[in-house]
Amino acid sequence: LTFHVQISLEICSVAFASQSLGPIVRAIDPWPPRRRNELLNGRRRACLAKVASLVCVRKGDGIFHEGDFADAIYSVKSGVVTTYVPSANGGRHIVSFLYPGDILGLSEAGRYTNSAKATTGVVAYRFPLAALRGLLSEDADLDSCFIIKLCDELRQAQRHALILAEGRAVSKLAMFLGLQQSLQATRGGTDSEICLPMDRTAIADFVGLSLPAVSRGFAVLTARHIISFPDRRRVKIVDRTGFELLTRVDDRNNHRPAD
Amino acid sequence: LTFHVQISLEICSVAFASQSLGPIVRAIDPWPPRRRNELLNGRRRACLAKVASLVCVRKGDGIFHEGDFADAIYSVKSGVVTTYVPSANGGRHIVSFLYPGDILGLSEAGRYTNSAKATTGVVAYRFPLAALRGLLSEDADLDSCFIIKLCDELRQAQRHALILAEGRAVSKLAMFLGLQQSLQATRGGTDSEICLPMDRTAIADFVGLSLPAVSRGFAVLTARHIISFPDRRRVKIVDRTGFELLTRVDDRNNHRPAD
DNA sequence: CGTTTAATTGAGGAAAGTCAAGTGAAGTGG
DNA sequence: CCACTTCACTTGACTTTCCTCAATTAAACG
C-alpha cells in the first residue's frame, strides 16, 4: 500500500469517528493542569457544528486566497492544509502546515492575510464569521477555547521563526522534523517515525532553503546515520542523541560530525 | 538632547496620560469595521487595573525567563520590551519587540516559552493568571479583546517569519524597517522617520543575520540613497519606491541597483 | 511501458559568516 | 570640564555555506 491510500483510510476513520460530534479543536494548554488535547466538550461541538458547513477539497486545490474577503474561518477535520504567501516570481513562503483540529483563516481588516490549499484531500468545517461571533459573544468558555488555540498557533509560529533563523541547513531540517514529530505526537502518532505529507519543495519553502539544499541536508543526515528513510515520505530517527544535538538552538558548530 | 533623554520624557508623559485609566490593549482588528486601535473601554480598563500590579524595570533588566513558572502575563505601559530565546553559546534569537499596548508572557504547560527583558526603561502591568482567568470567564467581550490581540500577535509572528525566510540581507533589513514603521504608525508615529530603540546586535538577532551583515546592509541601503541615518537610532526613508521594491517578498533579484 | 512529475546529484559562483582590527561615541572618574 | 575607559558599531580579509543552473536518476500515472 502506498502512503496515499493509508492517508485516505485515515480520513475515513477520523471522519467516521467525529461525524456526529462536530468539530475538534486541539491545542496544548498554556496553563497548568487542564485538558491537554481536545478542547471542546460534546455540547459545544454540536453547537459549533450547527453554524458550520462541511467543505471537501481535492488535493492541490485552493481553499481561499490572500486578499480575498474573509467571511469565514475553517477548522480542519481531516487531511493536511498548507497556508502560504505567494511571491512575485512564482515562489512562495509557507506559513504553516495544518492538521486535524487546527484552525485557519487569519485575516486583517476583513481580508485573508495568506492563501490556503489542500496538500492532501481535505475535509474542513467552515464557520461563517457572523455566526461564529454570535456564539463567541454568548459563551465565554468558547472564547477561552479560541484563546488557548491561538496561543498554541502563536507558539508554533515562534518555533517556525526559530527554524528559519537557524544558520545551518542540517539543523533547520532536524528542527523541522522535530516540529512535525511533536505535532504528530499530540495527535497520537508514534515517537520514532515521522510522516511527511508534503513534498520536498514544500519543506524547502517552509524552512527557508532551496530544494537542492533540502535534498542534500537529508542526504547528510542519512549518511551520518541520524535519520533513515524507509520511504520518501517517512522518516525514522535512528540516532536520537545526535538528532537532539542538532535541534538545539544555534551553536553554529553542530554541523560537524560529533566525535 | 540625546535620544535617551527623549525616551525618558516620553515614558513620563505616557505614564501620566494613562495612569488613572488602566491598561491599554492595542491591535488591528482582524474583522471589518470595528475599533481599530485601543480595544478596551474605560470601564474594562479600570476593571483590569484592579487585578493588576504595576512593575517598573530598569533598562537591560530581565522580566521573566524561559522555563520560569508562568504565573502572570504582562501588558506594556511604557518603554520597549524584548522577548528572546537564549541559545547555548551565548547567542540568542529575538522573538519580538513589544511596545506600549502589547502583551507578553506566552507559556506552555505552565512555563514561559521565552525570556523577556527591558530594552529601555519599562513600566508594565502585571496580571496574575488566576485573577485574569476569573475576569475572562465572566466577560465574553474581554475574551474577544484578547482574541483580537492574539490574532494581531500571530500576524506579526508570521510577518517576522517572512523576514527571516527572505534570502537577501538588504531585503531583510528593509522589511524589518517596514515592520517597525507600521508598528510605530499604529501608535501615532510619523510616516517617514523610524526610530530604533534597540541596538544593532538586537536587530541582527531579530532578522537572522550576523552583526557585520546588518552593518553592511544598512551601509548599502544608505549608499543607494534608499534610507539615511540622521542619527544611529533614527532612520529616514529617502527613496520610498526603491524601499518598497525591497520589501516585496522574495524576488531573489532585488539586490541589484534597479536601473 | 512510456510519459510526466518529483527528487537527487554535480559544478561554479555569490552572499553572508567568522575572526580580527579599527573607529566613534557614550559614560566615568579625576 | 576634560582625559580616559568602555562599549557599540563599522570596516576589512578570508572561509564557508548555500544558491543557481543544469543534468540525471527515481518514482508516479496513465
Concatenate the DSSP letters of all residues of chain B into one string: --HHHHHHHHHHHHHHHHTTT----B---SSTTS--SB---HHHHHHHHHH-EEEEE-TT-EEE-TTSB--EEEEEEES-EEEEEE-TTS-EEEEEEE-TT-EE--EETTEESSEEEESS-EEEEEEEHHHHHHHHHH-HHHHHHHHHHHHHHHHHHHHHHHHHH--SHHHHHHHHHHHHHHHHHTTT--SSEEE--S-HHHHHHHHT--HHHHHHHHHHHHHTTSEEEEETTEEEES-HHHHHHHHSS--S-TTSPP-
Q: Indicate the average pLDDT of chain A.
A: 84
Query: Between helices A140-165 and B140-165, what is the axis angle to 10°?
Result: 10
Per-residue pLDDT averaged across B111-130, rounded? 94
Q: Which residue has the higher pLDDT, A188 or B183?
A: B183
Residue A44 phi, psi (nearest 5)? -70, -35
Q: Which residue has the higher pLDDT, A172 or B142?
A: A172
Per-residue pLDDT averaged across A181-187, rounded? 89
Cα B231–chain centre separation? 21
Interface test with B, best of A137, A139, A150 (most B CBs within 10 A): A150
What is the dihedral angle through the alpha carbons of A197, A200, A205, A209, rounded to the nearest 10 degrees? 140
pLDDT bracket for residue A36 (50, 70, 90)? low
- A76 and A100 in contact (C-beta within 8 Å)? yes
In the predicted model, is pLDDT for residue A56 greater than 60?
yes
Q: Does A154 touch chain B (CB under 8 A)?
A: yes
CA B26 – CA B37 distance, rounded (Å) = 5
Partners of A78 in the beta sheet? A123
pLDDT at residue B18 in the model: 44
Per-residue pLDDT averaged across A182-199, rounded? 87
Which chain D nucleotides are covered by protein, judged by CB under 7 A? 8-13, 17-22, 27-29
The protein residue nearest nucleotide C10, judged by CA to C1', is A212
Q: Indicate the average pLDDT of chain B.
A: 84
Written as one letter, the residue type at B28 is I
Residue A53 phi, psi (nearest 5)? -120, 155
pLDDT at residue B186 in the model: 85
CA B149 – CA B99 distance, rounded (Å) = 13
pLDDT bracket for residue A79 (50, 70, 90)? very high
Measured from the Cβ of residue A41, the count of other Cβ atoms closer than 10 Å reads 13
pLDDT bracket for residue B15 (50, 70, 90)? very low
Write out the three cell numbers for B225: 540613497
Residue B165 phi, psi (nearest 5)? -80, -20
Written as one letter, the residue type at A225 is H
What lies within 8 Å, CB to CB, of B133 at 6+ separation is A31
Residue A198 phi, psi (nearest 5)? -100, 160
Q: Which residue has the cell 488557548?
A: A148
- B49 and B100 in contact (C-beta within 8 Å)? no
CA A41 – CA A172 distance, rounded (Å) = 37
pLDDT bracket for residue A139 (50, 70, 90)? confident
The gap between B56 CA and C29 C1' (Å) is 29
The DSSP 8-state label assigned to residue A200 in this structure reads H
In the predicted model, is pLDDT for residue A44 greater than 50?
yes
The answer to whether A108 contacts B252, with C-beta atoms less than 8 Å apart, is: no
In the predicted model, is pLDDT for residue A38 greater than 80?
no
Q: Which of A184, A244, A230 is closest to A10 using CA atoms?
A: A184
Q: Does B158 touch chain A (CB under 8 A)?
A: yes
**Which residues 209-248 of B interface with strand C at a CB distance below 7 A?**
209-210, 212-213, 217
Per-residue pLDDT averaged across A219-229, rounded? 95
- B148 and A150 in contact (C-beta within 8 Å)? no
The answer to whether B208 contacts A165, with C-beta atoms less than 8 Å apart, is: yes
- Chain B residue closest in CA terms to A108: B30
CA B224 – CA B243 distance, rounded (Å) = 10
pLDDT at residue B26 in the model: 81
CB proximity B118–strand C (7 Å threshold): no
- A83 and A153 in contact (C-beta within 8 Å)? no
Gap from A76 CA to chain B (nearest CA, Å): 18
Per-residue pLDDT averaged across A223-233, rounded? 94
Q: pTM for this structure?
A: 0.88
- A176 and A246 in contact (C-beta within 8 Å)? no
In the predicted model, is pLDDT for residue B253 greater than 60?
no
Write out the three cell numbers for B33: 469595521
From chain A, the residues in CB contact with B164 under 8 A are: 161, 164-165, 208
Tell me which residues of chain A, numbers 216 to 245, contact chain B at a CB-CB cutoff of 8 Å: none
User: Which of A31, A33, A137 lies nearest to residue B144, judging by beta carbons?
Assistant: A137
